[in-house]
Amino acid sequence: MGNGFGEAIIGLSGGIDSAVTAALAVEALGPDAVLGVAMPSPYSSQHSVDDARALAEALGIRMETLPIGAGLAAVAGTLDGLVVTGFDGERPAGIAYENLQSRLRGLLLMALANERGSIVLTTGNKSEYAVGYATLYGDMAGGFAPLKDVMKGDVYALAHHANRAGVLIPLSTIDKPPSAELRPDQLDADSLPDYPRLDAILTGLVEDLLDVEELVAAGHDRAEVVRVTGLVDRAEHKRRQAAPGPKVSRRAFGRDRRVPITSGYDVAERPEDERVQEGGPA
């Protein structure tokens, strides 16, 4: 492997993104050069743990299991009174507590990478990075992001392609609703539009450089378009800190679509020629 790394490490959640990332790594590097790490929390479902194990067995890779429950309780205890954990039963756990789980996983993966001289592959896709549905210093921690320029819908297409000669990615991983599993009964659809609609808006916004009015004219709901546009704008500071990845679309974040990290006006109202500077300075 280039850059002196002898191994790729991937956090295996039982979800579609980590499964496809692992399958790509095995195809590129071989199973002996890939290590999967399952890091279940108290909110991880048993079927996700089982799916991660089934994936590792099908790919022929080694898998370690590092539960994060004890670490989560310790960090939450240190932050007692400052972060809403839901332990008191008065208020449900907040986003900070949810992100503690992702950041603990990032810490463990990077510790293993340091110890073993390996590189961590992050598993986020373009749809998630576009709207900021990723955790800085958590699931974004790593050295390379194979799916960084791959929309969620195309991740599913890659999963089916990986299974073309037999089941490598468990069918239950492909069929179940996407979830970060950071709180009870959580689904991606609770926070985001359904991925087919989201991907269609993002394709128009990011790759076709359409503005709000053009997207609405194409048949998209105005409120949804404005919301997604705002999410994309506010997540720029996250994408600037994301691991590098391959370019597979016409316009990849960080290469072809460059915008300021912040601005004093709403991106939905920004003139089209000011929204994007292709190939120019950020």
Average pLDDT (76-104) is 89
**Ramachandran category for residue 132: left, alpha or beta (phi over 0 → left; psi -120 to 50 → alpha):** left
Q: What percent of the chain has pLDDT over 70?
A: 92
Domain annotation covers residue 218: yes
Domain annotation covers residue 281: no
Among 51-60, 84-93, 204-213, 221-230, the minimum mean pLDDT is found in 84-93
Check residue 277 and give its pLDDT. 34
Average pLDDT (85-100) is 86
Check residue 147 and give its pLDDT. 98
| Reported pTM | 0.90
pLDDT greater than 90 at residue 103: yes
pLDDT digits (tens, 9 = 90+) for 55-85: 999 999 999 999 999 999 999 999 998 999 9
Structural domain span for residue 265? 2-275
* CA pair distance 69, 41, nearest whole angstrom: 5
pLDDT greater than 80 at residue 270: no
Domain annotation covers residue 263: yes
Check residue 177 and give its pLDDT. 85
Domain annotation covers residue 156: yes
Domain annotation covers residue 43: yes
pLDDT digits (tens, 9 = 90+) for 137-159: 999 999 999 999 999 999 999 99
Whether residue 122 contacts residue 97, with contact meaning beta carbons closer than 8 Å, is answered with no
pLDDT digits (tens, 9 = 90+) for 109-135: 999 999 999 999 999 999 999 999 999
Whether residue 120 contacts residue 139, with contact meaning beta carbons closer than 8 Å, is answered with no
Q: Which two tokens stand for residue 62?
A: 């080694």
Domain annotation covers residue 282: no
Could you tell me the CA-to-CA distances from 213 to 223, 270, 276, 280 in Å, in that order? Answer: 11, 12, 16, 25
Check residue 119 and give its pLDDT. 98
* CA pair distance 189, 167, nearest whole angstrom: 27
Categorize the per-residue pLDDT at 280 as very low, low, confident or very high, splitting at 50, 70 and 90.
very low
Say if strands 119-120 and 62-65 run parallel, antiparallel, or are unpaired.
Answer: unpaired
Looking at residue 84, its amino acid is V
Domain annotation covers residue 191: yes
pLDDT greater than 50 at residue 26: yes
Check residue 265 and give its pLDDT. 57
> Which CATH number characterizes residue 222's domain?
3.40.50.620
Domain annotation covers residue 280: no
Q: How many domains are contained in the chain? A: 1
